[in-house]
Amino acid sequence: MTLTAEPAHDLPTSDVDPFCPEVLEDPLPFHAALRAAGPVVHLRRYDVYAFARYEQVHAALVDWQGFQSAAGVGLSNFRHEKPWRPPSLLLEADPPRHDAPRRVLQKILGPRALRKLRDAWAADADRLVDEVLAAQGPEFDAVAHLTEAFPLRVFPDAVGLGREGRENLLPYGDHAFNAFGPANALVEKGAPRVAELSAWTAAQCAREALAPEGFGADIWAASDRGDITPEQAPLVVRSLLTAGVDTTVHGLSAVLHAVATHPEQWRRLREDPGLARVAFDEAVRLESPVQTFFRTATRDVAIGGHVIPDGHKILMFLGAANRDPARWGPDADAFDLGRDPSGHVGFGMGIHQCVGQHVARLEAEALITALARRVATIELAGAPRRHLNNTLRAWETLPLRLRPA
Amino acid sequence: MITADRPSLAPEPPGTSTAAAATVRVAAKRVEAEGVVSLELVAPDGARLPDWTPGAHVDLVLPDGTTRQYSLCGDRWDADRYRIGVLREPAGRGGSAYVHDHLAVGDRVGLGGPRNNFPLVPAQRYLFVGGGIGITPLLPMIRQAALLGVDWALLYGGRTRASMAFVDELAEHGERVRVVPQDEHGLLDLRGFLGDPDPGTRVYACGPAPMLAALAEATAAWPAHTVRTERFVARELGAPARDTPFEVELARTGRTVTVPPGRSMLAAITEAGVEVLSSCRQGTCGTCETGLLAGEPDHRDSILDDDERAAGDCLFPCVSQARSDRLVLDL
């Protein structure tokens, strides 16, 4: 193809700010408009190219050769701008530098390595649900008491974090995900604590700060074997702490909101608790806790009949791709345990696909199964409130009423 | 300019699943040296091939059902093709002879992996030692070291200069590459090449057993984990890969499904109405891991190492097949 064959005016454009409070509160209409506008839409406010259809989002996710991550997976272009923190060795790296850290962490967080945690996490989820029902009664905020509480019980222990300061994990992650967007009010809101939270997080990544057993110790053991360098080890631990908590919390909130608003699906789940994993992935598809990531074109890339110039940012709307009727059918917006959600891009796809996805699924399976055994019905006990983040789709509160079985 | 408008191995919409077990087409075949040919392999539909890293190998499943492992020695920035180098092994079991004498451009072969038991780890300096066809996994490592600007050198031995493949493409690296045919220069001077033990250096070696034994002796005083080697040992496989249907018994569901040749086990199972969550459908992400209760699988994934395959307690139905007539899965 040639450049002249595609007049520039053919490229659909939008002046909407994807990171404004109105869109973050309810992105679905904007997503639908982007998908309808075309395979590529130029977002004039930030001079970036948006992909919202499944086909283009999937293609961009897997094509690490054409769409790089090392120039940052947020709006900021590391070719021209200094990152707010040392770049991630996983998320913000390309092959070949990406290879060794990814390989190490993928093994440590792989399904086979997680098997030994399965029984303990299931038992812990049972205990948590019993405790919450006993202490709170049938009505409570599920974010505070379940979806934040459970990951914060099991994940820091699995990493081997110390007891002190674990409450910093959520605000640190929240800010890191805000920082992928523009420097708007959400980023400003987090700014006063950045230095303090970054220092705490960095301190937890040192070998001495970590328990002798756990994901953290496993990462340092890989450094002892020379599979990664001692300089890389703390940054790989940091990736766990940044990306491993908020995302899972919001994924768990998503599945609880979905079953609370779809009582027939909860009945189905209770009849067949083996659907717990499907329920979680279907909720991740529908809600897409991680809504967006950027890439940077490594050369002039033709896609959908348009050319993305070398060095320009593209913005992939994972949430829009996960509801694209062209991929998911006319009922793409429905939460349906009869659907096979396989292939959704809520965890990404390709070499950067969420390395912690099996951890998230194991946490979700434990919590959902524990609830399914004890709870006959789940319903909203009040209007839930959104938590706004430039990248994450989240609930601030999720008031639920549970009727024990 | 490149174009991203091409098929990728995207999962199909539900209900239209026709995923096939991985197959590649021979796009080119070249003589690289005496007794060595290279093959270029592409996906039959022009899709991207699964990603790989230097040191990785693929399992080639030949039409007679034999499986052979070959290192990938092409360019990973070209997502559409693999390159492998194949030495004719007179003492071999026929796999390499088939590739040399019968496999032609346009033919299709089964593909497993890629898997990497020989990954390149970060280092301040690399010393590469290749013997004969053992040069193949080192080629992408060398490219990578050059790309990173890391100091490196290669010692490449072979029986005769004419038997040594890829010497031409190594020539661009000048004095970093020492080509040492045995009939001209005798055995490799490993100690001279390696020098004194150095904790910042990683030694990567691949070649015949006597060369690796000499290397082990020469590096006995080197710190642990600084020397990494790979040797090709033909794994003793049981039954050959099949070209006939096999049955999959789903123990918990109490159902049995038949998987015809060329069809993915995952597709057959999910079409029978049994839910198996998957994601990449390339045998790389691990989402569809399924317990194996009985039967002999034909593993095609990129995840399990040799020990894990030997344990025989799980498989990845998105790409893997069967060697036995029947598999029993924990589904």
CB contact under 8 A, B281 and A96: no
Dist. CA A140–CA A214, nearest whole Å: 32
Q: What is the mean pLDDT of residues B2-12?
A: 39
CB contact under 8 A, B279 and A60: no
Single out the residue of B310, B306, B286, B307 nearest to residue B296, CA to CA.
B310
> Within this chain, do residues B53 and B105 fall inside the same structural domain, yes or no?
yes
**Structural domains for chain A:** 3-404 (1.10.630.10)
> Within this chain, do residues B156 and B82 fall inside the same structural domain, yes or no?
no
**Which residues of A are less than 8 Å from B152 in CB distance?**
none
Chain-wide mean pLDDT for chain B?
89
CB contact under 8 A, B148 and A60: no
Top residue of B287, B290, B302, B304 to mutate, by most chain A CBs within 10 Å, is B287
CB contact under 8 A, B147 and A96: yes
| CATH number assigned to the domain comprising residue B78 | 2.40.30.10
List of long-range contacts for B76-81, beta carbons under 8 Å, 24+ apart: B76/A95, B76/B51, B76/B52, B76/B140, B77/A65, B79/A63, B79/A65, B79/B48, B79/B49, B79/B51, B80/B42, B80/B43, B80/B46, B80/B47, B80/B48, B80/B49, B81/B27, B81/B40, B81/B41, B81/B42, B81/B49
* Structure-block tokens of residue A126: 């049972």
| 3-state secondary structure at position B141 | helix
What is the band of B20 on the pLDDT scale with cuts at 50, 70, 90?
low
Give the list of residues 6+ apart from residue A232 with CB closer than 8 angstroms, or none.
A89, A100, A101, A223, B122
- The Cα of A271 is separated from the nearest Cα of chain B by a number of Å equal to 15
Top residue of A340, A352, A359, A365 to mutate, by most chain B CBs within 10 Å, is A340
Which residue in the set A112, A281, A305 is minimally distant from B277, CB to CB? Answer: A281
Q: For residue A370, what pLDDT is reported? A: 98
Q: For residue B95, what pLDDT is reported? A: 85
Top residue of A342, A354, A362 to mutate, by most chain B CBs within 10 Å, is A342
Q: What is the mean pLDDT of residues B122-130?
A: 98
- The Cα of B61 is separated from the nearest Cα of chain A by a number of Å equal to 25
Dist. CA A375–CA A128, nearest whole Å: 13
Q: For residue B262, what pLDDT is reported? A: 84
Which residue in the set B1, B285, B314 is minimally distant from A299, CB to CB? Answer: B1
| 3-state secondary structure at position A225 | coil
Q: Which tens digit of pLDDT belongs to each residue from B137-155?
A: 999 999 999 999 999 999 9
Domain endpoint, select from B97, B115, B133 = B115
Residue A56 backbone phi and psi in degrees, to 5? -75, -35
Domain endpoint, select from B89, B115, B141 = B115
3-state helix, strand, coil in chain A (%, to 5): 50, 15, 35
Residue of A nearest to B5 (CA): A303
What is the three-state SS of A295-353?
Answer: EEECCCEEECCEEECCCCEEEEEHHHHCCCHHHHCCCCCCCCCCCCCCCCCCCCCHHHC
Dist. CA B115–CA B235, nearest whole Å: 15
What is the band of B11 on the pLDDT scale with cuts at 50, 70, 90?
very low
Q: Which tens digit of pLDDT belongs to each residue from A53-78?
A: 999 999 999 999 999 999 999 999 99
Give the list of residues 6+ apart from residue A404 with CB closer than 8 angstroms, or none.
A133, A138, A374, A375, A376
Our CA dihedral for A317, A319, A324, A328, rounded to 10 degrees, sits at 140
B213 occurs within a structural domain? yes
Residue A29 backbone phi and psi in degrees, to 5? -65, -40
Domain endpoint, select from B115, B142, B169 = B115
B241 occurs within a structural domain? no
Instruction: Please compute, for residue A37, the number of CA atoms within 13 A of its CA located in the half-sphere on the CB side.
Output: 22
Count of structural domains within chain B: 3
Residue of B nearest to A67 (CA): B4
CB contact under 8 A, A343 and B119: no
* Structure-block tokens of residue A337: 């345990």
CB contact under 8 A, B77 and A65: yes
Contact (CB, 8 A) for B25 and B108: yes
What letter represents residue B331's amino acid? L
B191 occurs within a structural domain? yes
B239 occurs within a structural domain? no
Instruction: Please compute, for residue A178, the number of CA atoms within 13 A of its CA located in the half-sphere on the CB side.
Output: 21
> Within this chain, do residues B73 and B149 fall inside the same structural domain, yes or no?
no
Dist. CA A266–CA A259, nearest whole Å: 5
Q: For residue A174, what pLDDT is reported? A: 97
Single out the residue of A61, A40, A18 nearest to residue A347, CA to CA.
A61
Q: Which tens digit of pLDDT belongs to each residue from A390-401?
A: 999 999 999 999
Residue of B nearest to A285 (CA): B279
CB contact under 8 A, A65 and B11: no
Q: Is the pLDDT of residue B299 over 50?
A: yes
CB contact under 8 A, A327 and B287: no
Contact (CB, 8 A) for A228 and A257: no
Contact (CB, 8 A) for A292 and A317: yes
- The Cα of B59 is separated from the nearest Cα of chain A by a number of Å equal to 20
Q: For residue B10, what pLDDT is reported? A: 39
Contact (CB, 8 A) for B177 and B170: yes
Q: Which tens digit of pLDDT belongs to each residue from A227-263?
A: 999 999 999 999 999 999 999 999 999 999 999 999 9
Q: For residue B233, what pLDDT is reported? A: 56
Dist. CA B3–CA A401, nearest whole Å: 52
Chain-wide mean pLDDT for chain A?
96
B198 occurs within a structural domain? yes
B319 occurs within a structural domain? yes
Q: What is the mean pLDDT of residues A149-165?
A: 96
List of long-range contacts for B253-258, beta carbons under 8 Å, 24+ apart: B253/B331
* Structure-block tokens of residue A64: 């690490």
Dist. CA A247–CA B89, nearest whole Å: 52
Dist. CA A76–CA A301, nearest whole Å: 20
| CATH number assigned to the domain comprising residue B200 | 3.40.50.80
> Within this chain, do residues B226 and B307 fall inside the same structural domain, yes or no?
no
> Within this chain, do residues B224 and B278 fall inside the same structural domain, yes or no?
no
> Within this chain, do residues B92 and B135 fall inside the same structural domain, yes or no?
no
Query: Which neighbouring-strand residues pair with A395?
Result: A386
CB contact under 8 A, B5 and A229: no
B39 occurs within a structural domain? yes
Least confident of A20-34, A81-95, A233-247, B294-308: B294-308
Q: Which tens digit of pLDDT belongs to each residue from B43-55?
A: 999 999 999 999 9
Q: For residue B5, what pLDDT is reported? A: 39
CB contact under 8 A, A227 and B121: yes
What is the band of A209 on the pLDDT scale with cuts at 50, 70, 90?
very high
Q: How many helices (H) and strands (E) does chain A have?
A: 18, 13
Residue of B nearest to A232 (CA): B122
Tokens 């091409």 map to which residue? B6
Dist. CA B50–CA B318, nearest whole Å: 13
Single out the residue of A8, A7, A13 nearest to residue A37, CA to CA.
A13
Q: What is the mean pLDDT of residues A75-97?
A: 95
| CATH number assigned to the domain comprising residue B322 | 3.10.20.30
**Which residues of B are less than 8 Å from A100 in CB distance?**
119-122
Q: Across the beta sheet with A399-404, what order do the strands follow?
A: A139-141, A399-404, A375-380
Q: Is the pLDDT of residue A1 over 50?
A: no
> Within this chain, do residues B61 and B137 fall inside the same structural domain, yes or no?
no
Q: Is the pLDDT of residue B15 over 50?
A: no
* Structure-block tokens of residue B103: 């496999």
Q: Is the pLDDT of residue A5 over 60?
A: no
> Within this chain, do residues B256 and B224 fall inside the same structural domain, yes or no?
no
CB contact under 8 A, A275 and B120: no
Dist. CA A34–CA A11, nearest whole Å: 12
Which residue in the set B53, B120, B277 is minimally distant from A278, CB to CB? Answer: B277
Which residue in the set B3, B9, B122 is minimally distant from A100, CB to CB? Answer: B122
- The Cα of B312 is separated from the nearest Cα of chain A by a number of Å equal to 13
Q: What is the mean pLDDT of residues A41-56?
A: 98
Q: For residue B12, what pLDDT is reported? A: 42
Residue of B nearest to A327 (CA): B13
> Within this chain, do residues B149 and B213 fall inside the same structural domain, yes or no?
yes
What is the band of A2 on the pLDDT scale with cuts at 50, 70, 90?
very low
Chains A, B: CB pairs < 8 Å: 129
Single out the residue of B184, B176, B139, B190 nearest to residue B158, CA to CA.
B184
CB contact under 8 A, A226 and B121: yes
Q: Is the pLDDT of residue B230 over 80?
A: yes
Residue of A nearest to B6 (CA): A59
Contact (CB, 8 A) for B35 and B87: yes
Which residue in the set B147, B280, B308 is minimally distant from A112, CB to CB? Answer: B308
- Dihedral sign, Cα of residue A224, residue A230, residue A235, residue A238: positive
Residues in chain B: 331
What letter represents residue A289's amino acid? P
- List C-alpha distances in Å: A39 to A101, B2, B275: 33, 17, 31
Residue of B nearest to A272 (CA): B275
**Which residues of B are less than 8 Å from A1 in CB distance?**
1, 3
Give the list of residues 6+ apart from residue B98 with CB closer than 8 angstroms, or none.
B62, B63, B64, B66
Complex ipTM > 0.95: no
Q: Which tens digit of pLDDT belongs to each residue from A332-377?
A: 999 999 999 999 999 999 999 999 999 999 999 999 999 999 999 9
B13 occurs within a structural domain? no
Give the domain extent around B179: 125-230
